[in-house]
Amino acid sequence: MTDRPLATEPDPGPPDATPGAALRSDAVEHPAGIASAARRVARESPPDKPFPYLSGLSAKRLLEQLALRLAPALAAAGIAYTRLDSVVEALYVLLAMLAVSSLARRPRYPMHLMPVASGLIYLLVPPAGVLLAVLVAAADGNSATEPQGPAELAPAVLGAWLMTLLGAWVAHSFRADRELPIAVIGSHEFAAGLQAELEAVGVRGYRVVGCVDPEESCSTPDRAGVPCLGSLALIRSTVLHNGIELLVLGPLAPAQDLATGDPDDSSGGVSRLDVFERIADGCLDLPVSMIDSGQLYEEVFGHVPLGTTNAAWFQYLLHPRYRAGWPISKRLLDLVLGLVASVIVLPLIVLSAIAIKIQDRGPILHRQPRVGERGREIVVVKLRTMTPQAESGHPQWTASDDRRVTSVGRLLRRLHIDELPQLWLVLKGHMSLVGPRPERPEIVAELESWFSYYDRRHLVKPGITGWAQVRCGYAGSHLGTAWKLCHDLYYLKRRSILFDLLIMAETLARVGVPEPIKRPDERFIVAMRSGEELPHPAGPPA
Protein backbone atom coordinates (compact mmCIF):
# COMPACT_ATOMS: atom_id res chain seq x y z
CA MET A 1 0.00 0.00 0.00
CA THR A 2 1.31 3.43 -0.92
CA ASP A 3 2.24 5.89 1.84
CA ARG A 4 0.88 8.85 -0.07
CA PRO A 5 -2.50 10.38 0.89
CA LEU A 6 -5.49 8.58 -0.55
CA ALA A 7 -6.86 11.84 -1.96
CA THR A 8 -4.05 11.97 -4.57
CA GLU A 9 -3.51 9.71 -7.52
CA PRO A 10 -1.03 6.85 -6.98
CA ASP A 11 2.25 6.58 -8.85
CA PRO A 12 1.96 4.96 -12.27
CA GLY A 13 2.40 1.23 -12.14
CA PRO A 14 0.68 -2.07 -12.78
CA PRO A 15 -3.03 -1.94 -12.02
CA ASP A 16 -2.67 -4.68 -9.43
CA ALA A 17 0.38 -3.19 -7.70
CA THR A 18 -1.66 -2.58 -4.58
CA PRO A 19 -5.07 -3.76 -3.33
CA GLY A 20 -6.34 -0.19 -3.78
CA ALA A 21 -5.26 -0.15 -7.39
CA ALA A 22 -6.94 -3.48 -8.01
CA LEU A 23 -10.13 -2.15 -6.48
CA ARG A 24 -10.09 0.94 -8.70
CA SER A 25 -9.52 -1.24 -11.75
CA ASP A 26 -12.43 -3.54 -10.87
CA ALA A 27 -14.66 -0.58 -10.15
CA VAL A 28 -14.01 0.95 -13.55
CA GLU A 29 -14.25 -2.20 -15.61
CA HIS A 30 -16.97 -3.96 -13.63
CA PRO A 31 -19.11 -1.54 -11.57
CA ALA A 32 -21.16 -4.44 -10.19
CA GLY A 33 -18.02 -5.96 -8.69
CA ILE A 34 -17.20 -3.08 -6.34
CA ALA A 35 -18.55 -4.88 -3.28
CA SER A 36 -16.59 -8.06 -3.98
CA ALA A 37 -13.47 -6.02 -4.70
CA ALA A 38 -13.93 -4.16 -1.43
CA ARG A 39 -14.14 -7.46 0.43
CA ARG A 40 -10.89 -8.60 -1.24
CA VAL A 41 -9.16 -5.41 -0.16
CA ALA A 42 -10.49 -5.94 3.36
CA ARG A 43 -8.76 -9.32 3.46
CA GLU A 44 -5.51 -8.17 1.84
CA SER A 45 -4.96 -4.67 3.25
CA PRO A 46 -2.73 -4.49 6.33
CA PRO A 47 -3.13 -1.49 8.63
CA ASP A 48 -0.93 1.51 7.77
CA LYS A 49 -1.05 2.57 11.41
CA PRO A 50 -1.73 0.20 14.29
CA PHE A 51 -4.93 1.09 16.14
CA PRO A 52 -4.78 1.39 19.91
CA TYR A 53 -6.44 -1.42 21.76
CA LEU A 54 -8.83 1.11 23.27
CA SER A 55 -10.45 3.51 20.81
CA GLY A 56 -10.95 7.17 21.61
CA LEU A 57 -14.69 6.77 22.20
CA SER A 58 -14.18 3.77 24.49
CA ALA A 59 -11.37 5.51 26.36
CA LYS A 60 -13.52 8.61 26.87
CA ARG A 61 -16.43 6.59 28.26
CA LEU A 62 -14.15 4.52 30.50
CA LEU A 63 -12.35 7.59 31.82
CA GLU A 64 -15.63 9.34 32.67
CA GLN A 65 -16.88 6.23 34.45
CA LEU A 66 -13.71 6.01 36.53
CA ALA A 67 -13.09 9.71 37.18
CA LEU A 68 -16.64 10.99 37.66
CA ARG A 69 -18.47 7.99 39.12
CA LEU A 70 -16.19 5.36 40.63
CA ALA A 71 -13.46 7.60 42.05
CA PRO A 72 -15.79 9.92 44.05
CA ALA A 73 -17.72 6.90 45.35
CA LEU A 74 -14.51 5.17 46.45
CA ALA A 75 -13.27 8.37 48.11
CA ALA A 76 -16.51 8.76 50.04
CA ALA A 77 -16.52 5.10 51.03
CA GLY A 78 -12.89 5.26 52.17
CA ILE A 79 -13.52 8.31 54.35
CA ALA A 80 -16.65 6.73 55.77
CA TYR A 81 -14.67 3.61 56.73
CA THR A 82 -11.91 5.60 58.46
CA ARG A 83 -14.44 7.60 60.47
CA LEU A 84 -16.93 4.85 61.33
CA ASP A 85 -14.62 1.83 61.29
CA SER A 86 -17.40 -0.14 59.64
CA VAL A 87 -17.08 -2.05 56.39
CA VAL A 88 -20.86 -2.32 56.12
CA GLU A 89 -21.41 1.44 56.41
CA ALA A 90 -18.64 2.10 53.87
CA LEU A 91 -20.18 -0.41 51.47
CA TYR A 92 -23.56 1.30 51.82
CA VAL A 93 -21.96 4.63 50.94
CA LEU A 94 -20.15 3.14 47.93
CA LEU A 95 -23.22 1.44 46.46
CA ALA A 96 -25.53 4.38 47.17
CA MET A 97 -23.13 6.85 45.54
CA LEU A 98 -22.79 4.66 42.45
CA ALA A 99 -26.57 4.24 42.19
CA VAL A 100 -27.31 7.96 42.48
CA SER A 101 -24.51 8.83 40.07
CA SER A 102 -25.77 6.38 37.47
CA LEU A 103 -29.28 7.81 37.66
CA ALA A 104 -28.20 11.46 37.61
CA ARG A 105 -25.66 11.24 34.80
CA ARG A 106 -27.47 9.34 32.12
CA PRO A 107 -26.34 10.79 28.76
CA ARG A 108 -29.82 11.83 27.59
CA TYR A 109 -29.05 15.53 27.26
CA PRO A 110 -25.92 17.40 26.03
CA MET A 111 -24.60 18.18 29.51
CA HIS A 112 -21.33 19.51 28.06
CA LEU A 113 -23.40 22.43 26.72
CA MET A 114 -24.92 23.11 30.16
CA PRO A 115 -21.96 23.73 32.48
CA VAL A 116 -24.02 25.20 35.31
CA ALA A 117 -26.63 22.45 35.32
CA SER A 118 -23.88 19.83 35.01
CA GLY A 119 -22.03 21.39 37.95
CA LEU A 120 -25.19 21.34 40.06
CA ILE A 121 -25.62 17.64 39.37
CA TYR A 122 -22.01 17.02 40.37
CA LEU A 123 -22.65 18.89 43.62
CA LEU A 124 -25.91 17.11 44.42
CA VAL A 125 -24.78 13.53 43.77
CA PRO A 126 -22.48 13.10 46.85
CA PRO A 127 -24.96 14.40 49.49
CA ALA A 128 -27.80 12.50 47.82
CA GLY A 129 -25.73 9.32 47.82
CA VAL A 130 -24.75 9.74 51.48
CA LEU A 131 -28.36 10.43 52.45
CA LEU A 132 -29.48 7.28 50.63
CA ALA A 133 -26.78 5.30 52.43
CA VAL A 134 -27.98 6.63 55.81
CA LEU A 135 -31.57 5.67 55.00
CA VAL A 136 -30.58 2.18 53.88
CA ALA A 137 -28.44 1.66 56.99
CA ALA A 138 -31.29 2.85 59.21
CA ALA A 139 -33.68 0.43 57.52
CA ASP A 140 -31.23 -2.47 57.85
CA GLY A 141 -32.01 -4.09 61.17
CA ASN A 142 -29.16 -6.58 60.72
CA SER A 143 -26.46 -3.88 60.56
CA ALA A 144 -23.62 -4.66 62.98
CA THR A 145 -23.15 -1.01 63.88
CA GLU A 146 -25.41 1.78 64.97
CA PRO A 147 -26.62 3.78 61.94
CA GLN A 148 -24.96 7.16 61.61
CA GLY A 149 -26.58 10.44 60.64
CA PRO A 150 -25.66 12.68 57.71
CA ALA A 151 -23.54 14.98 59.90
CA GLU A 152 -21.08 12.17 60.70
CA LEU A 153 -20.63 11.55 56.97
CA ALA A 154 -20.07 15.19 55.98
CA PRO A 155 -16.31 14.59 55.44
CA ALA A 156 -17.25 11.83 52.98
CA VAL A 157 -19.30 14.34 50.98
CA LEU A 158 -16.39 16.81 50.96
CA GLY A 159 -14.00 14.09 49.81
CA ALA A 160 -16.36 13.09 47.01
CA TRP A 161 -16.63 16.74 45.90
CA LEU A 162 -12.85 17.11 45.76
CA MET A 163 -12.49 13.87 43.82
CA THR A 164 -15.27 14.94 41.43
CA LEU A 165 -13.50 18.24 40.81
CA LEU A 166 -10.26 16.41 40.08
CA GLY A 167 -12.06 13.91 37.85
CA ALA A 168 -13.77 16.68 35.88
CA TRP A 169 -10.42 18.33 35.25
CA VAL A 170 -8.90 15.03 34.09
CA ALA A 171 -11.84 14.31 31.78
CA HIS A 172 -11.73 17.84 30.34
CA SER A 173 -8.00 17.60 29.71
CA PHE A 174 -8.43 14.24 28.03
CA ARG A 175 -11.10 15.59 25.68
CA ALA A 176 -8.87 18.52 24.75
CA ASP A 177 -5.72 16.45 24.19
CA ARG A 178 -7.28 13.33 22.66
CA GLU A 179 -9.30 14.56 19.70
CA LEU A 180 -11.47 11.99 17.95
CA PRO A 181 -10.58 11.72 14.24
CA ILE A 182 -13.75 12.06 12.12
CA ALA A 183 -14.34 11.34 8.44
CA VAL A 184 -17.53 12.60 6.82
CA ILE A 185 -19.17 10.46 4.15
CA GLY A 186 -21.05 12.91 1.96
CA SER A 187 -20.63 16.44 0.67
CA HIS A 188 -17.55 18.51 1.40
CA GLU A 189 -19.77 21.51 2.14
CA PHE A 190 -21.42 19.62 4.98
CA ALA A 191 -18.03 18.56 6.36
CA ALA A 192 -16.87 22.19 6.24
CA GLY A 193 -20.00 23.27 8.11
CA LEU A 194 -19.44 20.62 10.77
CA GLN A 195 -15.85 21.72 11.29
CA ALA A 196 -16.91 25.39 11.41
CA GLU A 197 -19.50 24.80 14.13
CA LEU A 198 -17.09 22.69 16.18
CA GLU A 199 -14.66 25.62 16.18
CA ALA A 200 -17.26 28.37 16.68
CA VAL A 201 -19.21 26.73 19.49
CA GLY A 202 -16.04 25.53 21.19
CA VAL A 203 -16.90 21.83 21.41
CA ARG A 204 -13.64 20.02 22.07
CA GLY A 205 -12.60 16.45 21.47
CA TYR A 206 -13.50 16.12 17.77
CA ARG A 207 -11.42 16.74 14.63
CA VAL A 208 -12.66 16.51 11.05
CA VAL A 209 -9.87 14.75 9.16
CA GLY A 210 -11.53 14.93 5.77
CA CYS A 211 -14.38 13.84 3.54
CA VAL A 212 -15.00 10.52 1.81
CA ASP A 213 -16.67 10.90 -1.56
CA PRO A 214 -19.58 8.45 -1.76
CA GLU A 215 -19.20 8.04 -5.51
CA GLU A 216 -15.62 8.57 -6.71
CA SER A 217 -12.25 10.00 -5.68
CA CYS A 218 -11.77 13.76 -5.73
CA SER A 219 -9.82 15.29 -8.57
CA THR A 220 -8.19 17.77 -6.16
CA PRO A 221 -6.47 17.28 -2.78
CA ASP A 222 -9.19 19.28 -1.03
CA ARG A 223 -12.57 20.83 -1.71
CA ALA A 224 -14.36 23.58 0.27
CA GLY A 225 -11.33 23.63 2.56
CA VAL A 226 -11.77 19.97 3.54
CA PRO A 227 -9.19 17.32 2.56
CA CYS A 228 -10.37 14.58 0.20
CA LEU A 229 -9.84 11.09 1.60
CA GLY A 230 -10.74 9.13 -1.50
CA SER A 231 -13.83 7.27 -2.58
CA LEU A 232 -16.18 5.07 -0.60
CA ALA A 233 -14.81 2.02 -2.39
CA LEU A 234 -11.54 2.55 -0.50
CA ILE A 235 -13.15 3.13 2.89
CA ARG A 236 -11.18 0.43 4.69
CA SER A 237 -7.85 1.76 3.47
CA THR A 238 -8.97 5.29 4.35
CA VAL A 239 -9.88 4.32 7.91
CA LEU A 240 -6.60 2.47 8.46
CA HIS A 241 -4.36 5.02 6.77
CA ASN A 242 -5.82 8.05 8.59
CA GLY A 243 -6.64 6.43 11.95
CA ILE A 244 -10.33 7.30 11.62
CA GLU A 245 -12.36 6.40 14.71
CA LEU A 246 -15.75 7.85 13.79
CA LEU A 247 -17.52 7.86 10.41
CA VAL A 248 -20.27 10.47 10.04
CA LEU A 249 -22.86 9.73 7.36
CA GLY A 250 -23.81 13.13 6.00
CA PRO A 251 -26.35 14.09 3.34
CA LEU A 252 -25.81 12.40 0.00
CA ALA A 253 -28.13 14.69 -1.98
CA PRO A 254 -27.02 18.02 -3.47
CA ALA A 255 -27.08 20.95 -1.05
CA GLN A 256 -29.99 22.70 -2.75
CA ASP A 257 -32.18 19.60 -2.30
CA LEU A 258 -31.45 18.95 1.38
CA ALA A 259 -34.36 20.86 2.86
CA THR A 260 -37.03 18.95 0.96
CA GLY A 261 -35.29 15.92 -0.48
CA ASP A 262 -35.71 12.30 0.48
CA PRO A 263 -32.83 11.08 2.67
CA ASP A 264 -32.46 8.04 0.43
CA ASP A 265 -32.54 10.14 -2.74
CA SER A 266 -29.01 10.48 -4.06
CA SER A 267 -30.01 11.89 -7.45
CA GLY A 268 -28.97 8.77 -9.27
CA GLY A 269 -25.77 8.26 -7.24
CA VAL A 270 -24.90 6.13 -4.25
CA SER A 271 -27.80 5.45 -1.88
CA ARG A 272 -27.59 5.21 1.88
CA LEU A 273 -28.12 1.47 1.63
CA ASP A 274 -25.06 1.22 -0.65
CA VAL A 275 -23.05 3.15 1.94
CA PHE A 276 -24.13 0.81 4.74
CA GLU A 277 -23.24 -2.25 2.68
CA ARG A 278 -19.79 -0.98 1.78
CA ILE A 279 -19.03 0.10 5.35
CA ALA A 280 -20.13 -3.32 6.61
CA ASP A 281 -17.99 -5.09 4.00
CA GLY A 282 -14.84 -3.18 4.87
CA CYS A 283 -15.01 -1.96 8.46
CA LEU A 284 -16.96 -4.35 10.69
CA ASP A 285 -13.72 -5.82 12.06
CA LEU A 286 -12.11 -2.42 12.70
CA PRO A 287 -12.33 -0.30 15.88
CA VAL A 288 -14.31 2.40 14.08
CA SER A 289 -17.85 3.62 14.81
CA MET A 290 -20.47 5.15 12.52
CA ILE A 291 -23.20 7.67 13.26
CA ASP A 292 -25.76 9.55 11.23
CA SER A 293 -25.06 13.26 10.92
CA GLY A 294 -28.42 14.22 12.43
CA GLN A 295 -27.78 12.12 15.52
CA LEU A 296 -24.27 13.54 15.84
CA TYR A 297 -25.60 17.09 15.77
CA GLU A 298 -28.14 16.29 18.47
CA GLU A 299 -25.56 14.68 20.74
CA VAL A 300 -22.71 17.13 20.20
CA PHE A 301 -24.44 20.47 19.50
CA GLY A 302 -27.86 19.96 21.08
CA HIS A 303 -29.80 20.93 17.97
CA VAL A 304 -31.19 19.52 14.74
CA PRO A 305 -29.44 20.43 11.44
CA LEU A 306 -32.42 21.98 9.69
CA GLY A 307 -30.91 21.83 6.21
CA THR A 308 -30.51 18.04 6.34
CA THR A 309 -33.74 17.26 8.19
CA ASN A 310 -36.88 16.02 6.46
CA ALA A 311 -40.23 14.55 7.44
CA ALA A 312 -38.64 11.20 8.31
CA TRP A 313 -37.07 12.83 11.39
CA PHE A 314 -40.51 13.18 13.00
CA GLN A 315 -41.09 9.43 13.00
CA TYR A 316 -39.25 9.46 16.34
CA LEU A 317 -42.15 11.44 17.81
CA LEU A 318 -44.60 8.83 16.51
CA HIS A 319 -42.75 5.82 17.91
CA PRO A 320 -44.80 3.75 20.40
CA ARG A 321 -42.03 4.08 23.01
CA TYR A 322 -41.71 7.84 22.69
CA ARG A 323 -42.71 9.69 25.85
CA ALA A 324 -42.81 13.47 25.85
CA GLY A 325 -43.57 13.80 29.55
CA TRP A 326 -46.84 13.99 31.40
CA PRO A 327 -48.65 17.28 30.61
CA ILE A 328 -50.14 17.42 34.11
CA SER A 329 -46.70 17.28 35.72
CA LYS A 330 -45.46 20.13 33.54
CA ARG A 331 -48.53 22.18 34.40
CA LEU A 332 -47.99 21.55 38.12
CA LEU A 333 -44.37 22.60 37.76
CA ASP A 334 -45.44 25.82 36.03
CA LEU A 335 -48.00 26.61 38.73
CA VAL A 336 -45.73 25.92 41.70
CA LEU A 337 -42.56 27.57 40.40
CA GLY A 338 -44.51 30.34 38.65
CA LEU A 339 -46.34 31.28 41.85
CA VAL A 340 -43.15 31.24 43.92
CA ALA A 341 -41.28 33.27 41.30
CA SER A 342 -44.11 35.82 41.06
CA VAL A 343 -43.97 36.52 44.78
CA ILE A 344 -40.18 36.86 44.73
CA VAL A 345 -39.90 39.14 41.69
CA LEU A 346 -42.92 41.38 42.38
CA PRO A 347 -40.82 44.07 44.17
CA LEU A 348 -38.34 43.96 41.31
CA ILE A 349 -41.10 44.53 38.76
CA VAL A 350 -42.42 47.50 40.76
CA LEU A 351 -38.95 49.12 40.95
CA SER A 352 -38.42 48.55 37.23
CA ALA A 353 -41.80 50.12 36.42
CA ILE A 354 -40.86 53.22 38.43
CA ALA A 355 -37.53 53.50 36.60
CA ILE A 356 -39.24 53.23 33.20
CA LYS A 357 -41.75 55.93 34.11
CA ILE A 358 -39.08 58.30 35.41
CA GLN A 359 -36.91 57.97 32.31
CA ASP A 360 -39.30 59.12 29.54
CA ARG A 361 -42.79 59.32 31.10
CA GLY A 362 -43.95 56.71 28.57
CA PRO A 363 -46.04 53.59 29.12
CA ILE A 364 -44.66 50.96 31.46
CA LEU A 365 -45.92 47.85 29.74
CA HIS A 366 -45.60 46.75 26.13
CA ARG A 367 -48.27 44.42 24.71
CA GLN A 368 -47.88 42.40 21.54
CA PRO A 369 -49.96 39.64 19.94
CA ARG A 370 -48.01 36.43 19.52
CA VAL A 371 -48.73 32.95 18.20
CA GLY A 372 -49.07 30.39 20.97
CA GLU A 373 -49.78 26.68 21.27
CA ARG A 374 -51.68 25.13 18.33
CA GLY A 375 -51.50 28.47 16.51
CA ARG A 376 -53.78 30.27 18.98
CA GLU A 377 -53.09 33.98 19.39
CA ILE A 378 -52.05 35.25 22.80
CA VAL A 379 -51.13 38.73 24.06
CA VAL A 380 -47.63 38.86 25.54
CA VAL A 381 -46.96 41.53 28.17
CA LYS A 382 -43.44 42.82 28.77
CA LEU A 383 -41.87 45.75 30.54
CA ARG A 384 -41.18 48.37 27.88
CA THR A 385 -37.49 48.52 27.03
CA MET A 386 -37.56 50.59 23.81
CA THR A 387 -38.53 54.16 23.05
CA PRO A 388 -42.28 54.73 22.56
CA GLN A 389 -41.70 55.37 18.83
CA ALA A 390 -39.57 52.25 18.32
CA GLU A 391 -41.94 50.71 15.78
CA SER A 392 -43.36 53.85 14.19
CA GLY A 393 -42.39 52.78 10.68
CA HIS A 394 -40.95 49.66 9.15
CA PRO A 395 -40.35 47.07 11.92
CA GLN A 396 -36.77 45.97 12.41
CA TRP A 397 -35.03 42.95 13.81
CA THR A 398 -34.44 43.05 17.54
CA ALA A 399 -30.73 42.73 18.26
CA SER A 400 -28.73 42.51 21.47
CA ASP A 401 -27.23 45.98 20.81
CA ASP A 402 -30.38 47.61 19.38
CA ARG A 403 -30.15 51.43 19.38
CA ARG A 404 -33.87 51.75 20.01
CA VAL A 405 -33.40 50.31 23.49
CA THR A 406 -33.38 52.86 26.31
CA SER A 407 -30.71 52.96 28.99
CA VAL A 408 -33.10 51.49 31.56
CA GLY A 409 -34.35 49.00 28.99
CA ARG A 410 -30.81 47.84 28.24
CA LEU A 411 -30.34 46.89 31.88
CA LEU A 412 -33.74 45.18 32.01
CA ARG A 413 -32.94 43.21 28.88
CA ARG A 414 -29.52 42.15 30.08
CA LEU A 415 -31.01 40.86 33.33
CA HIS A 416 -34.14 39.56 31.50
CA ILE A 417 -36.34 41.49 33.92
CA ASP A 418 -38.51 42.71 31.02
CA GLU A 419 -39.87 39.16 30.59
CA LEU A 420 -41.04 38.77 34.20
CA PRO A 421 -44.63 40.06 33.69
CA GLN A 422 -45.20 36.98 31.53
CA LEU A 423 -45.35 34.94 34.73
CA TRP A 424 -49.01 35.99 34.81
CA LEU A 425 -49.52 34.23 31.45
CA VAL A 426 -47.84 31.15 32.90
CA LEU A 427 -50.27 31.09 35.82
CA LYS A 428 -53.19 31.54 33.39
CA GLY A 429 -51.97 28.59 31.31
CA HIS A 430 -51.28 30.55 28.11
CA MET A 431 -47.52 30.07 28.40
CA SER A 432 -45.06 27.81 30.16
CA LEU A 433 -41.88 28.56 32.05
CA VAL A 434 -39.88 26.68 29.40
CA GLY A 435 -40.70 26.41 25.72
CA PRO A 436 -40.10 28.04 22.33
CA ARG A 437 -40.38 31.81 22.34
CA PRO A 438 -43.66 33.03 20.77
CA GLU A 439 -43.45 35.01 17.54
CA ARG A 440 -45.55 37.82 16.05
CA PRO A 441 -48.43 36.67 13.80
CA GLU A 442 -47.47 38.92 10.89
CA ILE A 443 -44.18 37.12 10.35
CA VAL A 444 -45.10 33.56 11.31
CA ALA A 445 -46.55 32.85 7.85
CA GLU A 446 -43.39 34.16 6.18
CA LEU A 447 -41.11 32.15 8.43
CA GLU A 448 -43.19 29.02 7.81
CA SER A 449 -42.78 29.48 4.06
CA TRP A 450 -39.02 30.04 4.33
CA PHE A 451 -38.14 27.33 6.84
CA SER A 452 -39.48 23.80 6.77
CA TYR A 453 -41.31 22.60 9.88
CA TYR A 454 -41.41 26.03 11.49
CA ASP A 455 -45.03 25.36 12.43
CA ARG A 456 -44.00 22.28 14.45
CA ARG A 457 -42.70 24.51 17.24
CA HIS A 458 -46.34 25.45 17.94
CA LEU A 459 -47.04 21.90 19.12
CA VAL A 460 -46.01 22.96 22.63
CA LYS A 461 -46.75 26.01 24.74
CA PRO A 462 -44.42 28.96 24.27
CA GLY A 463 -42.15 29.72 27.20
CA ILE A 464 -40.54 32.61 29.02
CA THR A 465 -37.21 30.90 28.45
CA GLY A 466 -36.23 27.91 26.37
CA TRP A 467 -33.42 25.80 24.98
CA ALA A 468 -33.08 28.07 21.94
CA GLN A 469 -33.10 31.17 24.13
CA VAL A 470 -30.31 29.78 26.30
CA ARG A 471 -28.15 28.65 23.40
CA CYS A 472 -28.83 31.35 20.78
CA GLY A 473 -29.93 34.54 22.51
CA TYR A 474 -31.59 37.04 20.15
CA ALA A 475 -32.24 35.85 16.61
CA GLY A 476 -31.16 39.05 14.86
CA SER A 477 -31.79 37.72 11.33
CA HIS A 478 -33.54 35.05 9.34
CA LEU A 479 -30.55 32.76 9.68
CA GLY A 480 -30.55 33.40 13.43
CA THR A 481 -34.23 32.41 13.47
CA ALA A 482 -33.36 29.21 11.60
CA TRP A 483 -30.67 28.44 14.15
CA LYS A 484 -33.16 28.92 16.99
CA LEU A 485 -35.63 26.66 15.14
CA CYS A 486 -32.98 23.93 15.12
CA HIS A 487 -32.88 24.11 18.92
CA ASP A 488 -36.66 24.33 19.25
CA LEU A 489 -37.03 21.09 17.29
CA TYR A 490 -34.49 19.46 19.57
CA TYR A 491 -36.52 20.58 22.59
CA LEU A 492 -39.68 19.24 20.97
CA LYS A 493 -38.04 15.83 20.80
CA ARG A 494 -36.31 15.82 24.19
CA ARG A 495 -38.73 17.81 26.35
CA SER A 496 -39.24 16.59 29.90
CA ILE A 497 -39.50 17.94 33.44
CA LEU A 498 -35.80 17.28 34.02
CA PHE A 499 -34.82 19.11 30.83
CA ASP A 500 -37.00 22.06 31.87
CA LEU A 501 -35.25 22.23 35.25
CA LEU A 502 -31.83 22.11 33.58
CA ILE A 503 -32.81 24.92 31.19
CA MET A 504 -34.05 27.03 34.11
CA ALA A 505 -30.73 26.55 35.90
CA GLU A 506 -28.83 27.65 32.79
CA THR A 507 -31.15 30.64 32.35
CA LEU A 508 -30.54 31.89 35.89
CA ALA A 509 -26.80 31.45 35.45
CA ARG A 510 -26.69 33.39 32.19
CA VAL A 511 -28.47 36.46 33.52
CA GLY A 512 -26.28 39.43 32.70
CA VAL A 513 -24.53 37.73 29.76
CA PRO A 514 -25.63 39.51 26.55
CA GLU A 515 -24.71 36.70 24.14
CA PRO A 516 -24.35 33.11 25.36
CA ILE A 517 -21.96 31.77 22.70
CA LYS A 518 -20.23 32.75 19.50
CA ARG A 519 -22.50 31.91 16.61
CA PRO A 520 -21.37 29.74 13.71
CA ASP A 521 -22.18 30.56 10.11
CA GLU A 522 -25.79 29.36 10.11
CA ARG A 523 -25.99 29.10 6.30
CA PHE A 524 -25.15 25.42 6.21
CA ILE A 525 -27.95 24.81 8.72
CA VAL A 526 -30.54 25.78 6.10
CA ALA A 527 -28.50 24.38 3.18
CA MET A 528 -27.74 27.81 1.71
CA ARG A 529 -24.78 28.56 -0.47
CA SER A 530 -22.42 31.40 0.29
CA GLY A 531 -23.84 33.75 -2.32
CA GLU A 532 -27.50 33.34 -1.44
CA GLU A 533 -29.49 35.80 0.64
CA LEU A 534 -32.87 35.58 2.31
CA PRO A 535 -35.39 38.39 1.83
CA HIS A 536 -35.78 40.93 4.62
CA PRO A 537 -38.66 40.27 6.99
CA ALA A 538 -41.74 42.35 7.53
CA GLY A 539 -41.06 42.44 11.25
CA PRO A 540 -38.75 41.14 13.94
CA PRO A 541 -39.33 37.96 15.89
CA ALA A 542 -38.90 37.81 19.64
Compute the distance between CA of residue 169 and CA of residue 395 in angstroms, rounded to an integer. 48
Residue from 434, 483, 491, 493 nearest 461 by CA: 434
How far apart, in Å, are the Cα atoms of 434 and each of 207, 438, 501, 506?
A: 34, 11, 9, 12
323, 401 in Cβ contact below 8 A?
Answer: no
Task: Please give the pLDDT value at position 93.
Answer: 92
Task: Please give the pLDDT value at position 512.
Answer: 58
Residue from 254, 303, 291 nearest 527 by CA: 254
113, 494 in Cβ contact below 8 A?
Answer: no
215, 233 in Cβ contact below 8 A?
Answer: no
Side-chain half-sphere of 441: how many Cα atoms within 13 Å?
A: 13
514, 437 in Cβ contact below 8 A?
Answer: no
- Phi, psi for 145 (deg, rounded to 5): -120, 165
**What is the gyration radius of the CA atoms in the chain, in angstroms?**
28
Task: Please give the pLDDT value at position 9.
Answer: 37
Across 411-477, where does the E strand assignment appear? 432-434, 463-465
Side-chain half-sphere of 165: how many Cα atoms within 13 Å?
A: 7
Task: Please give the pLDDT value at position 141.
Answer: 61
Per-residue pLDDT of the chain (542 residues; tens, 9 = 90+): 434 333 333 343 443 333 444 444 444 444 444 445 444 544 444 444 444 556 778 888 899 899 999 999 999 999 999 988 889 889 999 999 999 998 887 767 888 889 889 999 999 999 999 999 988 888 876 555 555 666 788 899 999 999 999 999 999 888 888 889 999 998 888 898 898 888 888 888 899 999 998 877 677 788 888 999 988 888 999 999 999 999 999 887 554 343 344 444 444 567 888 899 999 999 998 989 999 998 999 999 999 988 788 888 888 888 888 877 778 899 999 999 999 999 999 999 999 999 999 988 889 998 989 999 999 999 999 999 888 776 665 556 666 567 788 888 888 888 889 999 999 999 999 999 999 999 888 888 888 888 888 999 999 999 999 999 898 877 767 777 888 999 999 999 999 999 999 999 999 888 856 555 566 665 556 555 444 555 444 444 44
457, 436 in Cβ contact below 8 A?
Answer: yes
Task: Please give the pLDDT value at position 199.
Answer: 85
356, 364 in Cβ contact below 8 A?
Answer: yes
- The strand pairing partners of 223, in sequence order, are 226
Cβ count near 52 (within 10 Å)? 12
DSSP 69: I
Task: Please give the pLDDT value at position 83.
Answer: 87
Indicate the CATH number of 19-46+179-302 among 3.40.1000, 3.40.190, 3.40.50, 3.30.460. Answer: 3.40.50
Compute the distance between CA of residue 419 and CA of residue 438 in angstroms, rounded to an integer. 12
Cβ count near 215 (within 10 Å)? 13
DSSP 371: E
3-state secondary structure of 405: strand
DSSP 263: T
Residue ranges per structural domain of the chain = 19-46+179-302, 56-175, 327-526
How far apart, in Å, are the Cα atoms of 405 and each of 362, 383, 391, 540, 541?
A: 13, 12, 12, 14, 16
SS3 letters across 480-504: HHHHHHHHHHHHHHHCCHHHHHHHH
440, 400 in Cβ contact below 8 A?
Answer: no
pTM of the model: 0.81
Burial environment of residue 188 by CB neighbours within 10 A (0 to 12, 13 to 18, 19 or more):
buried
